A and B are shown apart, each in its own frame.
Chain A
């Protein structure tokens, strides 16, 4: 692992939504950092707070009802949560960019690719229109779109899904961002196209050196591209470590459950192991550990005591009472 100072540090981030039906604690104590050139995976099921974490970093939480109630987002040492909207606009798309899940709907259908790329470049860079157009062509070539110059005048509906995601990536890279947040960038694509996009991202990262936050629910994606991983459940990080230890020694019962629910080619079992139950209602979280009601290893105490994220082993963080007790034992002995 690279021994550099982190480019982005998220500290104890809490983003809540204040709805009529109650307070939804969508992100509740997320804590991670990422170094230049590194890829961090954020894994979790729908509603675990992955995307809200990303939107919080970008300060794009719809408010009301959403509000970042606590925490820090340090980008190059500066807290983004203290920036004005105007200052944030200069960071979005230039220093921190984002690509989204569905390339079909993420591009504006009524504008040409050229217009959508050039406007981004013009907002952030001191270029004239012609230069911006040339830059757009360069970018499209970079992401592997054939006949890039000719395709500038096309509309999004004239591209295939994979090509559109390439356009999205080109647009996100327009101003050489230092952090790229990829929010499930391959979920909506065919498997073969998924692999192409992941390869492209890895290649671009090598060339351009940006840090990537890869949000996904797919552990396969994590195993392919990530250096470190944060597993989220019900708005909280439950396990946070490097990829190797995660796959070698998953600690949290939820991570274990996720791993077991991946079909294996070698396995002879016909039925997949699934995690029983449903994710909790974020408006009314259970008193103890949020995962306790679904956890096969839960004991009495899990229902009443909420665990904290502790370091258990070298740089391996886990949020589970199973390990808290063990650590205490270690400490007391």
Chain B
């Protein structure tokens, strides 16, 4: 097992090398002069030359890449062209917000998705099955930005019961320890903040979690239907086990592998892909950061963020692969 994890970590090196080359090329693949596209059409030649000098754009590509890769290895992601802030620090500041939102959305998606999928499978063709699967179809088809805006319109504007943006209200004090606000408020026992943070999380969490929830529900249902037909379920019945043991232990553990694959992929996607949701709800995470960087043509920021997102994605998939072993002992890592 340890060997397998080490081997997988070694295999990360070529992947990350590839990702770094791709993100590095990004700046050179833009049509025209990168310096000009960053500073805009009205920039003067001296400004452009200064930026080129700053970013080292006049050096040969290989030297540029060496510098880029070298500084990444030292944990230095460079600085923003626009704000001159250190990108590593900026990302570290925003990552907890994105993680908190993603984890919240995935907890929603996994718990509701799996439960709905299991019930739909066990009560196949019942009204619950039809309703939840139609709902799931809607869920995967809804554009997130539309769902987000509709929720804001309904819950914030019409009913005024949920906040429309941000992570926490201005008038709430919270001592930040981990930067995961929900966790911080629990640690410090600050229940007013807990309630406030939770109310901020609900709408973006639902918006972000809807698609994975729908996919997980459908995947769970089809996988469960398959498993419930297996001989070992008949054996479990013949042994006199209670229904809930059969469904939630014997069947679900077998049905979980394909669901786990989906969860891993969706989790990785959400961590990097919360761009729309974070933008709509003004959520101060990396999704919004990269959105602002793209709009402002702040290429170093875009490069670094994409690199970080790729790393997270690869790590989440590694964790997924390791979890397989728990759910299916037949999988051998040797």
Residues of A that sit less than 8 Å from B by CB: 58, 60, 88-94, 97-98, 100, 102, 105-112, 119-120, 123-124, 155, 157, 168, 171
Contacts and interface: CB of A to CB of B under 8 A. Distances in A.
B245 interface: yes
Contacts of B250: 108, 111
Given A108-B254, A110-B328, A157-B330, A60 B240 contact: no
Interface in B224-279: 230-232, 234-242, 245, 250, 253-254
A105 B240 contact: no
Contacts of A98: 235, 238
B258 to A, nearest CB: 14
In this complex, the interface size class of chain B, counting residues with CB under 8 Å from chain A, is: 20 to 34
Contacts of B235: 98, 100, 106-108, 168
15 contacts: A58-B238, A89-B241, A92-B239, A93-B240, A93-B241, A97-B238, A97-B239, A107-B235, A108-B250, A108-B254, A109-B330, A123-B239, A155-B329, A157-B330, A171-B239
A323 B90 CA distance: 95
Chain A interface, >50% SS class: mixed
Nearest to B231: A105
A90 B239 CA distance: 9
Chain B interface, >50% SS class: helix
Contact of A106 (B232, B241, B245, B254): B232
B238 A94 contact: no
B327 interface: yes
A299 B242 CA distance: 52
A60 B236 CA distance: 11
A109 B232 contact: yes
Interface of B: 230-232, 234-242, 245, 250, 253-254, 327-330
Given A102-B231, A105-B230, A110 B237 contact: no
A89 B240 contact: yes
A110 B242 CA distance: 18
A120 B239 contact: yes
Given A60-B234, A108-B235, A90 B245 contact: no
Nearest to A120: B239
A155 B331 CA distance: 12
Given A108-B250, A110-B253, A60 B238 contact: yes
Nearest to A181: B238
Contacts of A106: 231-232, 234-235
B200 to A, nearest CB: 40
Contacts of B236: 108
Nearest to A171: B239
